[in-house]
């Protein structure tokens, strides 16, 4: 489906879907098996146990044959009832979409406004919850890594804020662009539902999504009244007990998941996070050396999986991305919603290393020149200095 023949490999540097490692592709390339047969039960049980390590949870992880949006819906419909108030933080485009979904599901989302330049504000969450004396708010929803802005919310601090307010609301967290890239701890941070997707830090193609579910969330699901069928946790958990699924699972994607989780665990999660932190820092140094501005203006919230870069006033981020695709065969992320044409997003997550980053940053620097965007041609050099100095 390439629009024109091109030698060499396309650089897929959007912040997900990310590049799928050969080992994962090879794992998918096995014959599809009988999903009701005995061998499948062994595979299912092994994967369901293994994947918990990535979420850092002992609780149940549910796997859906769906994109991340499905897992958002699953988190809401399994825990909440029509008319329930839910508190959400406007971190950017994805938080806004989750809120619209909540409205369509007849929940009553309340949005803590944000300027799309930082993560969720724990102090504002605490103050809002303190005001809810009757504990009508049933859930706090936060996007851990806002893929539209490159800002990461501090979930540990959000947890503390909820506790400080003495509020019983559930904590639902979207980790679609952070899981497997940025430190995340479902159990330790007292998260009730973690929502995740396959196509970013997990290095898989799009097509699987996840809910990690706390005991408190499971209890809430017993009385939650939103209609649910496909997304219902109950038959999933019942079938998963023996490694099976209530409906046809995405068998070959599960082979892929098995291989991808092995890769993450072999590298070691801390090393994986460190690798992402390092590439993010090198990218930010490049951006500053170009004389461009990072969309996230709160350094404590800098994302390690992507960097959104603002183009100078009067320039078009979309024209820049089009030039980079045309001349250098690299895809970068576009600006979403109010950031359309104002930012481009560099994905530096997943199956990625120093030279892949340098190729990416070289493509951006050459693109800035080709597209006539004012900049200093010093970004690649700054990133190389940082990487070589911290090899
Ligand atoms: N949440 C975040 C943070 C995302 O980055 C995305 C997709 O990029 C989604 C939700 C939606 O997931 P999907 O497109 O897989 O349905």
For ligand 1, say whether the CB of 172 is within 6 Å of any of its atoms.
Answer: no
Distance 33 CA to ligand 1 centre (A): 29
| All CATH 3.40.640.10 domain ranges in the chain, comma separated | 22-265
For ligand 1, say whether the CB of 68 is within 6 Å of any of its atoms.
Answer: yes
For ligand 1, say whether the CB of 150 is within 6 Å of any of its atoms.
Answer: no
Residues of the chain under the 50 pLDDT cut: none
Distance 94 CA to ligand 1 centre (A): 7
Ligand 1, residue 70: give the atom nearest the CA: 16
For ligand 1, say whether the CB of 69 is within 6 Å of any of its atoms.
Answer: yes
For ligand 1, say whether the CB of 264 is within 6 Å of any of its atoms.
Answer: no
Q: How many Cβ atoms from other residues are within 10 Å of residue 6's Cβ?
A: 10
Q: Cis omega (within 30 of 0) on the bond before 81?
A: no
What pLDDT does residue 4 have? 74
CATH topology assigned to domain 22-265 = 3.40.640
- The tens digit of pLDDT for each residue in 119-157 reads 999 999 999 999 999 999 999 999 999 999 999 999 999
What pLDDT does residue 6 have? 83
Which structure tokens are listed for 261?
């989780």
Distance 69 CA to ligand 1 centre (A): 6
CATH topology assigned to domain 11-19+268-389 = 3.90.1150
Q: Are 302 and 280 in contact (CB under 8 A)?
A: yes
Going by C-alpha positions, the residue among 179, 68, 86 that lies closest to residue 132 is 86
Q: Pairing between strand 85-89 and 193-197?
A: unpaired
For ligand 1, say whether the CB of 73 is within 6 Å of any of its atoms.
Answer: no
Question: What DSSP line would sit under 293-332, residue for residue?
Answer: EES---GGGB-SSEEEEEPPTT--HHHHHHHHHHHH-EEE
Going by C-alpha positions, the residue among 141, 191, 193, 135 that lies closest to residue 168 is 135
For ligand 1, say whether the CB of 305 is within 6 Å of any of its atoms.
Answer: no
Query: Which of 15, 18, 64, 68 to mutate for ligand 1's pocket (most ligand atoms within 8 Å of CB)?
Result: 68
Ligand 1, residue 144: give the atom nearest the CA: 3
For ligand 1, say whether the CB of 347 is within 6 Å of any of its atoms.
Answer: no
For ligand 1, say whether the CB of 16 is within 6 Å of any of its atoms.
Answer: yes
For ligand 1, say whether the CB of 197 is within 6 Å of any of its atoms.
Answer: yes
What pLDDT does residue 391 have? 86
């Amino acid at each position: 489906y390439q629009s024109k023949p091109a030698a060499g490999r396309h650089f897929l540097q959007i912040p997900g879907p990310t590049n799928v490692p050969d080992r994962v592709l090879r794992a998918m390339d096995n014959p599809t098996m009988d999903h009701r047969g005995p061998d499948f039960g062994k595979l299912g049980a092994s994967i369901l146990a293994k994947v918990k390590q990535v979420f850092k949870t002992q609780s149940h992880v549910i796997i859906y044959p769906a994109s991340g949006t499905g897992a958002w819906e699953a988190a809401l419909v399994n825990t909440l009832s029509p008319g329930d108030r839910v508190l959400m933080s406007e971190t950017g485009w994805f938080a806004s979409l989750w809120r619209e979904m909540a409205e369509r599901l007849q929940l009553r989302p309340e949005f803590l406004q944000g300027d799309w330049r930082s993560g969720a504000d724990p102090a504002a969450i605490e103050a809002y919850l303190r005001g809810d004396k009757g504990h009508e708010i049933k859930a706090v929803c936060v996007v851990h890594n806002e893929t539209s802005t490159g800002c990461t919310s501090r979930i540990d601090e959000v947890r503390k804020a909820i506790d400080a307010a003495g509020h019983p609301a559930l904590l639902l967290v979207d980790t679609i662009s952070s899981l497997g890239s940025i430190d995340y701890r479902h159990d330790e941070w007292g998260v009730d539902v973690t929502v995740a997707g396959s196509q970013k830090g997990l290095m898989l193609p799009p097509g699987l999504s996840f809910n990690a579910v706390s005991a408190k969330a499971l209890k809430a699901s017993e009385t939650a009244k939103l209609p649910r069928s496909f997304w219902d946790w109950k038959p999933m958990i019942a079938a998963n007990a023996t490694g099976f699924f209530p409906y046809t699972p995405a068998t070959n994607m599960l082979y892929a998941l098995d291989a991808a989780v092995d890769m993450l665990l072999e590298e070691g999660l801390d090393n994986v996070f460190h690798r992402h932190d390092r590439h993010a820092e090198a990218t930010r140094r490049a951006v500053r050396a170009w004389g461009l501005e990072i969309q996230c203006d709160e350094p404590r919230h800098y994302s390690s999986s992507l960097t959104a870069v603002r183009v100078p006033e009067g320039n078009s981020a979309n024209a820049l991305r089009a030039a980079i695709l045309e001349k250098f065969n690299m895809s970068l992320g576009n600006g979403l919603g109010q950031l359309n044409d104002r930012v481009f997003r560099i994905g530096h997550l997943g199956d990625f290393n120093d030279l892949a980053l340098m190729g990416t940053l070289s493509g951006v620097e050459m693109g800035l020149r080709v597209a006539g965007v004012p900049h200093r041609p010093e970004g690649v050099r700054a990133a190389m200095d940082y990487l070589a100095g911290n090899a």
